[in-house]
Amino acid sequence: MDRMATAGHWAWRWVYLIVASLLALLGLATAALGVHLVTLGGTAYYVIAGLLLLAGGVLAWMRRERLALLAFASALLLTLAWSLYEIAGKGWMPAWGFDLAGRLGVVTGLVVAAAIAFVLWRTPPRSVWRRATVVGVTAAVVALVAVVAVHWERTEEVAAAPAETTGVGIAEPPAEGDTAAPARDAGREWPAFGGTTLGRRYSTLSQIHAGNVSGLREAWTFRSGDLNPGEGRVFYSSQNTPIKAGDLIYTCTSSNQVHALDPGTGEVRWHFDPQVPSRTMESLFSAACRAVAYFDDGDPAGRPEAVDRMPAVPGVMGPLPRGGSNCHRRVYVATADGRLIALDAVGGFVCRDFGESGTVDLTEGMGLRESGFASNTSGATVAGGLLIVGQQVSDNQRRDAPSGVVRAYDARTGALRWAWDALRPDPQAPLAPGEIYPRGTPNVWNVVSADESLGLAFLGTGNAGADHWGGNRTAEEDRFTAAVVAVDLATGVTRWSFTTVEHDLWDYDLGAQPMLVDVPVDGAMRRAVLQGTKGGDLFLLDAATGEPLRQVLHQAVPQEGKLPGERLSPTQPRSVFYPNLGGVPGPTPERIDGRHIWGLTPIDAALCRIGFHSRRYDGMFTPPTVDAKGMVLLPGTVGGMNWGGLGFDPVRRLVVANYSRLPNIVDMTPRAEVQDRPVGSGGARPDQPIAPHSGTPFGVNRPMWLSILNVPCLAPPWGFIAATNIDTGELVWSKPLGTGFDAGPLGIPTRVKITMGTANLGGPLMTAGGLTFIAAAQDNFLRAFETTTGRLLWEARLPAGGQAGVMSYEHDGRQYVAITATGHARFETTQGDYLKVYALDDGKPDLTGAPARAQFRQLAGAGERRAVTERPGDRPRPCEQVDPRRSEPGTGTGVGVSLLRFDCRGGRSAPAAYTTRGPRS
C-alpha cells in the first residue's frame, strides 16, 4: 500500500510539472508578445504576468515549489485585479462576465490545476489538505454550475390580467387621426417585405399577445429543397420574408424559386423554378431573395370568388382552381441573372402579356460584363401600379461597376416608366441606341419604400463603384451616396435627398429599408421617414420635404492620413435626438480603446491588442489608409442597422432595432501589389484574397476582425436589440441579442445558452399584441420579447439560422407567425431550407391578459361549423377541423397533414401541387 501511495504521489508530481511547464510556455509567449505590445504603446500587463508565469514554471523544475506556487498565484491575482480595473474603466458593459471569463479562464484553470496536483503530490491520502482540496474543487464546480444556471437564458412568465376584449385578434379601426390605422400596417395579410410599402414591420393582429404567447406552438413546416449547389463559391442566405396575399403564402429561395403555400397547412399549391445558373450567383455577397412582389389590378374577374374551380366532393375534397386569376393577381420574382418574371398568383404560370413573354430583361441598358454582376436581391416594390426595382452591384470589384440605376416598370405590361440614376437628371429620357446607364453610380440594393398618399418612393442608396476610395467621385455621386432619396412615384424625378454620410469611404451605405411613420410636430401629426444607418444613427426626416424633424448636427471628424488623391469631408451629420445604435447604445457613437480588445487566452488577446495598436483608429470615421496594417472600422460593414430594417409600434410609439457591434479591419493595398482581376475582366469573387477595387489606386481587404481562434477581437456584446421612443428619443430598453449556443471558437458550438450578444442580420416583427418577434442572431432561435419592457416571453428552436425577417398573418380566424430558416453562409450559421410557422395550440383566442387596446371579435360557438365574418359585407372564410386520421403537423411535403380546410358547407379542400419551370437565360 505504501509503495502504491508513493507511486501515486510521484505520478501527481509529474502532473504538477507538466502543468507548470504549460504555464511557463504560456508565460514565455505572453511576455514576448507583451514586449511588442508595450513598444506600440499598449498595456504592460502581458509582460509582467508572462514573466511571473515563466518564473513559476522554472522554479517548479528547480524544486522551489512554494516559490513557484507564489509566482503562479501572483500572476493570477494580477490578472484578476487588471481585469476588474479595465472592465470597470469601460463602464461594466453588458456581458462583462464573458470579458472577465476570457481574461481569467485559461490562467485560472492552469494555476488551479497546478495547485491541485501539488497538494495531491505532497500530502498523504487522508490528510486535511487533501480533503480541503476536494471540498474546494467541489464547491468551485458547484458555484460555476450555479452561475451558468442562473444566467442561462430562459423565458419569463407574464402575470395574466383581465382585459376588455370582444373577438379574435384584429385591432378595431382607430378614431380619426389615430396613427395606428390598420390601412397603414399589415393585418390579416402581409403583402410586402416590411408588411406594407411603408416598411414598419408591424401587424395589427393581436390574437397572440403577452398573456398567451407561451402557448405558441409549431403549426407547420415547409422545406423547399433548395440547398447550396456550390459550397465555397456560392454563399446561400435567402433572407426571405414570406408574403401573405389573398389565400396563399409566397416564399422565395436563394436560387429565386417561388413556392405558393396553403397558409393553414403549408401544402404546396404551385412551384416555379427559373433555373438560375449557379455560376451566376458567384458574384453575389449572398445569394438572396428577400421578397417577391404582389400586385392586384382590382379587376373583379381576378377575385377569388371569380376563379373557375373544380366541383367539391362533399366530405372528401374542396374545390380546386382549374386555372388562375387570368393574371389579374400576380407575383413577381427577380432573379440573379437579371430577369423580372410575372407569375399568376393563383396558378403559378407565367403571365405572357408582361414584358417579353412574361419577362422583363433587367440587364438591358446595363452593359454587364458578366451575368450576376448586378441583380435585384430585395424584390420589387409595388406602388402606384408600378414595379420599382433597385439592384445590388458586387462590392469593390471596379470603379466602373454597373450602374446603380433604379427602374420603374408598369406592373401590367412591363413597360419601362422611368429610370432614376445619380447622373441622369431626366429619369424619363430613353436611352439612345447603344447607350447604357452611367457606370459606377450609387445603387439601391435594399428594399424600396413608397407612400402612395404622397406620390413618393423612397430610396436608400449605397456607394459608388468603389467603397473605400472616392478621389474621382463627382458631386452628384457624393450627394446620392448613403442617402435617402425621395422620387416622384409617377415620373422618378428627385423631390429631395438627405445624405447620411458625406463622401462615404467606410461602406456605410443604407441597408435598412426607409420607414414611413407619423410623428407629432408643433401639435400636429406629420408623415416622416425614419432611416436607420450602419453608423447607428436614426434620422427622422419630413417625408414631403426631407427636412430633419429632429436635431442633426454636423460634427468634425478626423482629417489626418488620407489616401493619395483622396479628399475628406471635414464634418459628418449626426442625429443627436435619438441614441446611437452602432455600438453600446448611448447618446454618442461608441469609441473603443485597448481595454475593449479581447481574447479567450492571453495569447490571442495579446495578438488582438497588437493588431489594434498596429492599426489606425480614431473613431468611426477613421480614414482608410495604407499606413501600418490598415485601420479598424467600428461599426463594421454589417452595421449598425442593416437590411433587416426596423420595427415600429404606432400605438406604443416604440421603434425596435436589432444591430451588430462587430468591427472590420480595412487594409488598402497599392495597385502594384494587387494581383487579382475584377469580375468582368476574368476574375471571380470567391478567388480574391484582395478585392481588386479596379479603377482606383488601391485594392482592399476588409475582413471581420477575428482572432486566431475565429472569435471577434472586440469584447462582447457583438449584437443588441433596443427599443426607442420615437417621440421623446428615450432609450426605453436595450439588451444583447443572441447566445453562443450554435457558435464558438474555431467554429465549434459551445452549447452554452447565456446571453452574450452575437452579430445579427434579419428583421423584427412587432404586433398589436405587445410582442416583438425576432431571430437574426447567430444562434438558431426565434424569440418573442415584450415590446414595452424587453422581457423574453417565448422562444422556439430553429433547425437552421434565422437570418430573415419575421412576419405574421391571419388565416381562417387564426393568427400565425412565420420565419424563414435557411441560415447565412457568410455568417457561418446553420444552413437549411425551412419555413417555420407557429400558432396558438387550438387557434382560439385566450382573452386573458390581452392588451386593452386590442378589440376582439367573438368566435363562433364551440363545436359549430359556420363562417366567421369580420364586418358586415366581408365574405366568409373557411373553417378548420383536425383530421383524426393524421395527427402529425403538416410538413409541406404532402405527408402528415393535420389540418383540413372546410368550406363551412362540409366540403374538404385539398391543395393541388404542381411545378413550372422558366427558361434559362
Quick one: how far is CA 71 from the chain centroid?
A: 47
893 Rama class: left (phi>0) / alpha (psi -120 to 50) / beta: alpha
SS3 484: strand
* Residue 507 designated active-site: yes
Q: What is the dihedral of CA 19, 25, 27, 29, to 10 degrees?
A: -150
In the DSSP assignment, the letter for residue 402 is P
Angle between helices 45-61 and 96-122 (to 10 degrees): 10
Task: Catalogue the E-assigned strands of 177-282.
Answer: 202-203, 216-223, 243-245, 248-252, 258-261, 268-273
| Contact indicator for 490, 414 with CB cutoff of 8 Å | no
Q: Give the bridge partners for 812, in sequence order.
A: none
Alpha-carbon span 711 to 741, nearest angstrom? 14
Alpha-carbon span 144 to 101, nearest angstrom? 11
DSSP string, 60-83: HHTT-HHHHHHHHHHHHHHHHHHH
Nearest by Cα to 197 from 263, 289, 293: 293
Amino acid at 606: A
Alpha-carbon span 291 to 377, nearest angstrom? 8
Q: In what order do the strands lie in the sheet with 792-797?
A: 202-203, 765-767, 771-774, 781-786, 792-797
Q: Which three cell numbers stand for residue 720?
A: 443588441
Alpha-carbon span 816 to 260, nearest angstrom? 16
For 510-541, give one letter per residue: b (16+ CB within 10 A) or e: bbbbbbbbbbeeeeeeebbbbbbbbbbbbbbb
| CA pseudo-torsion sign 181, 183, 188, 189 | negative
Query: What is the CA angle 409-415-416, rounded to 5?
Result: 55
The single residue listed with the C-alpha cell 416608366 is 417
Residue of 504, 507, 518, 833 marked catalytic = 507
| Helices and strands (H and E) in the chain: how many | 7, 43
Contacts 24+ apart (CB under 8 A), 56-62: 56/20, 56/23, 56/24, 56/27, 56/114, 57/20, 57/21, 57/22, 57/23, 57/24, 57/25, 57/27, 58/24, 60/16, 60/17, 60/20, 60/21, 60/24, 60/114, 61/17, 61/20, 61/21
In the DSSP assignment, the letter for residue 230 is S
| Contact indicator for 105, 140 with CB cutoff of 8 Å | no
Q: Which three cell numbers stand for residue 804?
A: 430573415
Residues identified as active-site: 507
